[in-house]
Amino acid sequence: MKKKLIRLLVIIIPLLTLDQVTKYFAKEILAEKTVPVIKGVLEFRYLENRGAVWGSLQNQLLLLVTVTIILSAVLLVFYFKMPDGKKNTPLLYLVPIILAGAIGNFIDRIVYNYVIDFIYFKIINFPIFNVADIYVTCSTIILAILIIFYYKDEDFQWMQFKKAKTGDE
C-alpha cells in the first residue's frame, strides 16, 4: 500500500505541476494573443472552456465537478485494490496519469469555474485542449487497447465482489 501511494504521488505530482504551470503561462501570456508554433499547423491560443470535452456540457460546473470526484474515487479504489505484478504494471502507471489529468482540470474548475485550454491544431481545426487533456486522452486510449488486446477476463478476477460466507454453506 505504501509503495503504491509513493508511486502514485511520484507520477501525479510532476504531471500535475507541468499541467498547472503550462496553464499559468497560457493565462498570463496568451490571454490577448495567439502564438504560432508551427505556422498553419499548431498554435497556442487561450480559451476558457466552461464545459467538458469539445465544449460539451457548457456551464455544468456542479455536474462536471461531481463526475470528476466520483470517477477519481473509483480509479483510486481500482488502483489500490489492484495486485502488484508484472501483468498489472501498465495499469499501475496509466491510472495515475489519468488521475493527474482529471485533477488538473478539476483544479481549474474549482479555482476559475472553467478549464484553461491553449493547444490548437489549426491544420485540422481540432478543438483547443490542454496538457491534462493529453494525459487523460492518451492514457485512456492505451488502456482501452490493453483491455481489448492484452488483458483477459481472468486478469481482472481480483475486481470481483466476494460473497460473504454464511452459516448455510
Give the separation between CA 100 and CA 146, rounded to whole angstroms. 20
The residues with which 138 forms a beta bridge, in sequence order, are: none
Annotated catalytic, 108?
A: no
**3-state secondary structure at position 57:** coil
Give the separation between CA 83 and CA 81, rounded to whole angstroms. 6
Q: Which of these is catalytic: 19, 84, 108, 133?
A: 133
Annotated catalytic, 117?
A: yes
List, as one string, the DSSP characters of 88-126: GHHHHHHHHHHHHHHHHHHHHHHHHSSEEEEEEEGGGTP
The residues with which 150 forms a beta bridge, in sequence order, are: none
Q: Which of these is catalytic: 19, 84, 108, 117?
A: 117
**Which residues in the chain belong to E strands, given as ranges?**
34-38, 42-49, 115-121
Catalytic residues: 117, 133
